[in-house]
Amino acid sequence: MSTVLEAARRILQKANQPLHYKDIAKRMIDDGLWKPEGKTPAATVNARLAVAIKDDPKSLFVRTGPGKFTLRDGVAPMPESASAPGASGEPMSFTEAAEFVLKKHGKPMHYTTITEEALKLKLIQTAGRTPEATMYAQIIQETQRREKRGEPQRFDRRGGGIVGLVAWNPVGVEGQIAKHNETIRKALRQRLHGLDPAEFEALVGRLLTAIGFEDVTVTRLHGDGGVDVRGTLVVGDVIRTRMAVQAKRWKQGNNVQAPTVQQVRGSLGAHEQGLIISTSDFSPGAKAEALRSDATPVGLLNGERLVSLLIEHQILVRREPHEMLQLGDPPKEAADE
């Protein structure tokens, strides 16, 4: 298991963009890079990064805005997939190691065997006494997280602790489900483009409520600096942040530009932060402007992430479970014959 700073470095390398310390902490935990001991892991990450920057002027970490960090220029981004274990000089996450081991052997394996191989190849480091339990828990958590968001699965859990890769059976049930879900994602994105402005703003208000906002109000006022929705983001009943949100129902390819970010920032009230939700994406200039260190940060939520959140919270879509029959173990008498 990595230290806080080492885990944060790996997450920021992989993301190759600034992240809020809450997002860094969540990804560290989800990837199995760090197991927090306290009840406020995000606060721990924020404190460790802040101290690292304060104590070392040449620290690998740089603050880009309130609560946001990135790596100092010159730190090479992590490749999407290592060609060999230890290629980056650092241990992998448990799920990365599982994928590597499965690809290496080319067949489904029991999670305990996957863990033994990952340890043998020094793909993972852990001080825990039950790394195989951690391995299986991380695989299950990733599967559940991707299922909620309607995202393609990486692992194929076959029962009895056996794990394979979905890529091995693209024409099977998992592949058919993934293909169907991708079709629904595209259809949902098209449906968003068909909403009129008032409907889209109402949809954004509904989504914000679902993800934890309170006092959500759709403004629908002219001359309000483009702000369509206002609300308060509540985290753990402790942190309350007023947010001014602009909703952009734009077609793919028509990316939001930097002046839009500046417009939203200029319309913020006292103690407010900005958020732009778009069905398209954001230009490099808009992303840079949103993270400008000498200005109030403006969050950016693109169409792909918007669709994932709508699916996760079952807004405009519904999740239909399907039962699949599997043969069980034979009776003990028959097995002994």
What is the rounded average pLDDT of the residues 238-246?
A: 89
For residues 307 and 219, state if they share a domain.
yes
Say what the pLDDT of residue 132 is. 92
Taking residue 236's Cβ as centre, other Cβ atoms within 10 Å add up to 9
Residue appearing with tokens 């340890």: 119
Q: Do 149 and 224 sit in the same domain of this protein?
A: no
Give the angle subtended at the CA of 88 by the CAs of 9 and 108, to the nearest 5°. 105
Same domain (yes/no): 235, 152:
no
Q: Tell me how far CA of residue 213 lies from CA of 20, 146, 210, 239, 311, in angstroms.
A: 18, 23, 7, 11, 18
Does residue 31 sit within a domain? Answer: yes
In a domain, 265, yes or no: yes
Determine the average pLDDT of the residues in 68-97. Answer: 61
pLDDT of 88 > 50? The answer is: no
Candidate from 123-127, 198-202, 205-209, 314-318 with smallest mean pLDDT: 123-127
Phi, psi torsion values for 231, nearest 5 degrees: -170, 175
Tell me if 179 is assigned to some domain: no
- pLDDT surpassing 50 at residue 79: no
Q: Among candidates 80, 114, 113, 120, which has minimal Cα distance to 100?
A: 114
Residues listed for the chain: 337
Strands 68-71 and 61-65, bridge-based pairing? antiparallel
195, 196, 202, 204: CA torsion to nearest 10: 60
pLDDT at 76: 43
- Contact indicator for 27, 41 with CB cutoff of 8 Å: no
Domain hosting 67: range is: 4-71
Instruction: Look at residue 324 and tell me whether its pLDDT is greater than 80.
Output: no
* pLDDT given for residue 63 in this prediction: 85
Cβ of 230: how many Cβ atoms within 10 Å?
A: 20
What sign results for the dihedral spanned by CA atoms 155, 91, 14, 70?
A: positive
Instruction: Say yes or no: 131 and 199 in one domain.
Output: no
Residue 199 has pLDDT above 50, yes or no: yes
Residue 56 lies in a domain: yes
Residue 83 in this model has a pLDDT that exceeds 60:
no
Run of H or E including 162:
strand 162-165
Same domain? 51 vs 8: yes
From 56, 71, 86, the end of a domain falls on 71
**Does a structural domain hold residue 178?**
no
Mind listing the pLDDT tens digit for each residue in 144-187? Answer: 888 887 777 889 888 889 999 988 875 666 667 777 888 898 89
Q: What is the pLDDT of residue 78?
A: 43
- Kindly tell me if the per-residue pLDDT of 335 is higher than 60: no
**CATH number of the domain bearing residue 46:** 1.10.10
Distance separating alpha carbons of residues 154 and 2, to the nearest angstrom: 23
Instruction: Classify 68 as helix, strand or coil.
Output: strand
Give, in degrees to the nearest 5, the angle at Cα 174 between 169 and 177.
Answer: 135
- Domain count of the fold of the chain: 3
Summarize the confidence of residues 295-304 as an average pLDDT: 90
pLDDT at 307: 92
**pLDDT tens digits for range 100-122:** 899 888 899 999 999 999 998 88
CA distance 61 to 70: 6
Identify whether 87 is part of a domain: no
Strands ordered across the beta sheet of 162-165: 109-110, 162-165, 155-157
Task: Tell me: pLDDT of 97 over 60.
Answer: yes
**Diameter of the chain by CA atoms?**
82
Q: For residues 130 and 241, state if they share a domain.
A: no
Give the CATH number of the domain where residue 306 resides. Answer: 3.40.1350.10
Residue 64 and residue 132 share a domain: no
50 shares its domain with 147 = no
Looking at the predicted structure, is the pLDDT value of residue 87 above 50? no
Q: How many CB atoms lie within 10 A of CB 123?
A: 22
Same domain, 131 and 230: no
137 and 226, same structural domain?
no
**Contacts (Cβ under 8 Å, ≥6 apart) of 98:** 111, 114, 118, 135, 138, 139, 155, 163
- Taking alpha carbons only, the member of 306, 292, 233, 234 closest to residue 264 is 292
Q: Is residue 84 part of a domain?
A: no
Is the confidence at residue 70, as pLDDT, over 50? yes
d(CA 267, CA 285): 19
Per the structure block, which two tokens stand in for 116?
Answer: 């033994």
Between the CA atoms of 97, 100, 106 and 107, what dihedral angle is there, to the nearest 10 degrees?
20
If one counts every other C-beta atom within 10 angstroms of the C-beta of residue 326, the result is 7
Is residue 177, in this structure, part of any structural domain at all?
no
Res 64: pLDDT: 83
| pLDDT surpassing 70 at residue 337 | no
83 CB contacts (<8 Å, ≥6 apart)? Answer: none
Pair 125, 18 in one domain: no
Is residue 66 located within the same domain as residue 99? Answer: no
Phi, psi of 133 (to 5 degrees): -70, -40
Average pLDDT over the chain, rounded to an integer = 83
Arithmetic mean of pLDDT, 309-330: 82
Residue 136 pLDDT > 50: yes
Q: What percentage of the chain reaches a pLDDT higher than 90?
A: 30
pLDDT at residue 77, rounded to an integer: 43
Predicted structure pTM score: 0.53
Structure-model confidence comparison of residues 238 and 276, the more confident one: 276
- Provide the pLDDT confidence category of residue 207 given band limits of 50, 70 and 90: very high
